[in-house]
């Protein structure tokens, strides 16, 4: 093995082991994994000097950024946010405008140059989609109105981030260029962006549905096809002199319009987590501890701005839009941190020579501080709201106290049917005829067609994220028509743990004993029942030999 290859393996080994250790420690103290990964990088780089950034690590971290933006694009389903499009447009536009303006003024007052102030204002403006969604899901609040408003706001922010990345693409390598050439580069970048957007939306409507519907028969095939589509669009972006991040984001938007986008998101998430961990650890490796002594006052000022002033801006806007005091407060608390995309913007700004490494270190320190503090605030937002309400801290902003209508209902008391083979479809149809609330699940979208009025979901119940999404703990009954032994055993175990009755398809005598040991309430044995009946008939006729 060549020395560079061996060094890359050693570096990745150090990164993965240290990241895993910090992620475990972070879980013990409820610290977000993003903060843990950056701290792991600081330990490996500035503290112990075990890992140095080279071209191979840079390439891997850039791949992680691309996959992150691909997954963010997968969230941008027009169907998902159409009812909150107006809120996202108004709230996103005003919040970004006022927060960016406030951040720019703060940076100027601290003595930073105009271009440094622009990057620091961008750092303060955007919030972390990944961190907030994880925490809201942990609270079981993803169906609440404030959670949906937060997601709509973050998607609006992500679109603005992509515009910023497009502008950075126009700057090229950061070498000094004439103003006319810069304008030409920006026009070319936005022209290429518009061209690619048209291409991916047309592909989403006319080109991708049938191939992906066919590929959905095999989970592994659809996974590979999704990555293939991502890299095709990335290559197209490269040909148009756009960044890899823009191509990956637009590729995700195209697949987000397909029925399988949520299942794909769950399948791609573990892969994305690995590459994002590498990116964040390498970001920590690049930080210079010598800068902390000089940047901590600025970091404290910007952290206070992000944790306090930005949520106040969001709360005030929502109050003026006549949302309730509770919804405005909860949404505002969710925005009080720096986005992972701020790290991307800072890294690209440094690579183009627009800002120095000290600004990257400042942004990283603000990011770690705000994500850590905001995580605790989001988890404990309910008692925080009660305290603020009791002491009249919210009255000056004029929000009304009555509750907003929650338009999404939480799944509860429903019957879950898994596996839409002939048996599963018959069970769904019979239960629906009896007026039961049924949720039908399968990995193949074609098998879910024609099951109305039952709800349908594309997904694999072996994923914990799917189990949480289908509300298994709140179900009346779980039925599996699958003929997959491991999946049925896992499902029976999860039902027993959740205290939910389950009916499992015992398609073979060999699985019966294990299912009984797992406290399965009912065994579906259509084929075996037929054999038993035949044996009993043969006994009566005197032709069955013991």
Tens-digit pLDDT profile for residues 85-95: 778 888 988 99
Q: How far is it, in rounded angstroms, from Cα 165 to Cα 375?
A: 27
**Residue 151: pLDDT above 60?**
yes
Which of the pair, 536 or 164, is modelled with greater confidence? Answer: 164
When pLDDT is cut at 50, 70 and 90, the band that residue 331 belongs to is: very high
Instruction: Name, of 65-74, 442-451, 527-536, the range with top average pLDDT.
Output: 442-451
Q: What is the DSSP string of 248-295?
A: HHHHHHHHHTSTTHHHHHHHHHHHHHHHHHHHHHHHHHH--GGGHHHH
pLDDT at 164: 76
Between strands 502-505 and 522-524, the pairing is: parallel
How many angstroms separate the CA atoms of 441 and 470, rounded?
Answer: 9
The two three-digit tokens of residue 408, written as one number: 């999404």
The residue with greater pLDDT, 161 or 85, is 161
Please name every residue paired with 523 in a beta bridge, in sequence order, or none if there are none.
504
* Mean per-residue pLDDT, 120-135: 83
More confident residue, 465 or 305: 305
More confident residue, 473 or 479: 479
Look up residue 324 and give its DSSP letter: B
- For residue 545, the model assigns a pLDDT of 42
Comparing 45-54, 160-169, 226-235, 531-540, which segment has the lowest mean pLDDT? 531-540
Non-local CB neighbours of 391 within 8 Å, separated by 6+ positions:
none
What is the b/e burial string over 8-47, where b = at least 16 CB atoms within 10 angstroms of the residue's CB?
beebbebbeebbeebbeebeeeebbbbbbbbbbbbbbbbe
Residue range 218-240, pLDDT digits in tens: 777 888 888 899 989 988 888 88
pLDDT value at 477 more than 80: yes
Per-residue pLDDT of 257-275, as tens digits, reads 888 877 787 777 777 778 7
List of E strands, 409-511: 415-418, 438-442, 455-458, 477-480, 502-505
Rounded-to-integer distance, Cα 309 and Cα 431, Å: 52
pLDDT (mean) for 401-408: 52
545 Ramachandran zone, left/alpha/beta (phi>0; psi -120 to 50): beta
Q: Which two tokens stand for residue 70?
A: 């691909």
Given this model, what pLDDT does residue 543 score? 44
Q: Which two tokens stand for residue 377?
A: 């605030």
Q: What is the pLDDT of residue 404?
A: 54
| Domains of the chain, start order | 3-397 (1.20.1530.20), 415-541 (3.40.50.720)
- Predicted confidence at residue 28, as pLDDT, reads 83
- CA separation for the pair 139, 135 (Å, rounded): 6
Please tell me the least confidently modeled range out of 39-43, 115-119, 510-514.
510-514
- What is the reported pLDDT for 510? 78
Say whether pLDDT at 529 is over 60: no
| Mean pLDDT value of segment 52-79 | 76
Percent of the chain predicted with pLDDT > 90: 19
Q: State how far the Cα of 505 lies from the Cα of 487, in Å rounded to an integer.
A: 11
Residue 418 has pLDDT above 90, yes or no: yes
> What pLDDT score does 528 carry?
53
**Residue 368 pLDDT > 90, yes or no?**
no
pLDDT score of 65 more than 60: yes
What pLDDT is attached to residue 195? 86
Give helix 145-171 / helix 85-109 axis angle, nearest 10°. Answer: 60
Rg (the chain; Cα; Å): 26
Residue 158: the pLDDT is 75
Please give the Cα distance from 192 to 240 (Å, whole number).
6
Check whether 172 has a pLDDT greater than 60: no
> Residue 174 gets which letter from DSSP?
S
Q: Which residue has the higher pLDDT, 447 or 129?
A: 447
Asked if 457 contacts 439 with a C-beta cutoff of 8 angstroms, the reply is yes
Contact 350, 357 (CB under 8 A): yes
User: In whole angstroms, what is the distance from residue 540 CA to residue 382 CA?
Assistant: 68
Question: Which segment of 58-72, 151-165, 174-188, 406-420 scores lowest on mean pLDDT?
Answer: 174-188
Q: Rounded to an integer, what is the distance from CA 158 to the centroid of its chain? A: 12
Identify the pLDDT of residue 538.
46
Alpha-carbon gap, residue 339 to 84, rounded angstroms? 22
Q: What pLDDT does residue 94 have?
A: 93
H/E stretch holding 94: helix 85-109
Specify the pLDDT at position 534.
45
pLDDT averaged over every residue in the chain: 81
Round to whole Å and give the CA distance between 255 and 265. 10
Contact 304, 59 (CB under 8 A): no
Among left, alpha and beta (phi > 0; psi -120 to 50; other), residue 312 is alpha
Neighbours of 391 (CB within 10 A): 9
Q: Model-level pTM? A: 0.67
- When pLDDT is cut at 50, 70 and 90, the band that residue 100 belongs to is very high
According to the model, what pLDDT value does residue 84 have?
67
* Res. 39: pLDDT tops 50: yes
Q: Report the range out of 283-292, 436-445, 511-520 with the highest average pLDDT.
A: 436-445
77 compared with 428, residue with greater pLDDT: 428
**Within 10 A of 133 (CB to CB), how many other CB atoms are there?**
17
Compute the C-alpha angle 335/340/345, nearest 5°.
115
| Mean pLDDT, range 516-529, rounded to an integer | 77
Q: Which of 6-15, 52-61, 195-204, 522-531 has the lowest mean pLDDT?
A: 522-531
Average pLDDT over residues 357-375: 84
| C-alpha to C-alpha distance for 457 and 453, rounded to whole angstroms | 13
pLDDT band per the 50, 70, 90 thresholds, residue 537: very low
**135, 471, 477 from 467: Cα distances, Å:** 17, 7, 14
Higher pLDDT: 430 or 277? It is 430
The phi-psi region of residue 49 (left if phi > 0; otherwise alpha if psi is between -120 and 50; otherwise beta) is: left
- Give strand pairing partners of 456: 440
Which of 138-147, 197-206, 284-293, 531-540 shows the highest mean pLDDT? Answer: 197-206
* pLDDT (average), residues 407-427: 81
């Amino acid at each position: 093995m060549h020395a560079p290859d061996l060094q890359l393996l050693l570096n990745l080994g150090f990164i993965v082991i240290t990241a895993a250790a910090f992620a475990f420690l972070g879980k013990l103290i409820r610290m977000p994994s993003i903060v843990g990964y950056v701290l792991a990088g600081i330990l490996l780089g500035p503290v112990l000097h075990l890992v140095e950034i080279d071209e191979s690590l840079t390439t891997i971290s850039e791949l992680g950024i691309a996959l992150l933006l691909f997954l963010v694009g997968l969230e941008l389903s027009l169907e998902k946010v159409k009812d909150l499009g107006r809120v996202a447009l108004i709230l996103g536009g005003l919040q970004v405008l006022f927060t960016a303006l406030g951040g720019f003024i703060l940076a100027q007052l601290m003595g930073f140059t105009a271009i440094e102030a622009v990057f620091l204002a961008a750092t303060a403006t955007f919030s972390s989609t990944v961190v907030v969604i994880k925490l809201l899901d942990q609270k079981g609040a993803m169906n609440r109105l404030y959670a949906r408003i937060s997601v709509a706001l973050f998607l609006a922010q992500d679109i603005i981030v992509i515009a910023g990345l497009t502008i950075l693409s126009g700057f090229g390598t950061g070498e000094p260029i004439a103003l006319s050439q810069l304008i030409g580069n920006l026009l070319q970048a936005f022209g290429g962006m518009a061209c690619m957007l048209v291409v991916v939306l047309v592909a989403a409507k006319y080109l991708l549905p049938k191939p992906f519907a066919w590929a959905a028969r095999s989970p592994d095939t659809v996974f590979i096809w999704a990555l293939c589509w991502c890299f095709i669009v990335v290559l197209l972006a490269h040909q148009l002199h756009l960044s890899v991040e823009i191509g990956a984001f637009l590729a995700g938007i195209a697949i987000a319009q397909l029925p399988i986008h949520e299942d794909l998101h769950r399948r791609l998430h573990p892969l994305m987590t690995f590459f994002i961990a590498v990116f964040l650890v390498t970001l920590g490796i690049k930080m210079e501890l010598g800068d902390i002594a000089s940047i901590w006052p600025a970091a404290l000022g910007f952290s206070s701005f992000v944790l306090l002033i930005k949520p106040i801006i969001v709360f005030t806007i929502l109050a003026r839009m006549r949302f309730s005091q509770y919804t405005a407060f909860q949404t505002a608390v969710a925005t009080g941190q720096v986005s992972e995309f701020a790290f991307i913007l800072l890294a690209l700004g440094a690579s183009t020579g627009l800002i120095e490494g000290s600004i990257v270190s400042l942004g990283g320190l603000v990011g770690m501080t705000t994500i850590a503090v905001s995580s605790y605030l989001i988890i404990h937002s309910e008692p925080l709201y009660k305290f603020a309400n009791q002491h009249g801290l919210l009255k000056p902003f004029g929000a009304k106290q009555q509750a907003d209508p929650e338009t999404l209902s939480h799944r509860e008391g429903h019957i879950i049917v898994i596996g839409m083979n002939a048996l599963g479809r018959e069970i769904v149809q019979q239960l629906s005829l009896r007026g039961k609330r049924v949720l039908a699940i399968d990995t193949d979208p074609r098998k879910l067609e024609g099951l109305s009025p039952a709800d349908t979901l594309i997904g694999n119940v072996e994923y914990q994220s799917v189990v949480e999404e289908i509300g298994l703990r709140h179900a009346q009954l779980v039925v599996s028509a699958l003929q997959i032994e491991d999946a049925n055993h896992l499902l029976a175990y999860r039902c027993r743990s959740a205290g939910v009755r389950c009916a499992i398809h015992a398609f073979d005598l060999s699985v019966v004993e294990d299912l009984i040991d797992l406290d399965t309430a009912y065994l579906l044995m259509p084929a075996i029942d037929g054999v038993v009946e035949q044996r009993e008939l043969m006994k009566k006729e005197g032709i069955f030999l013991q």
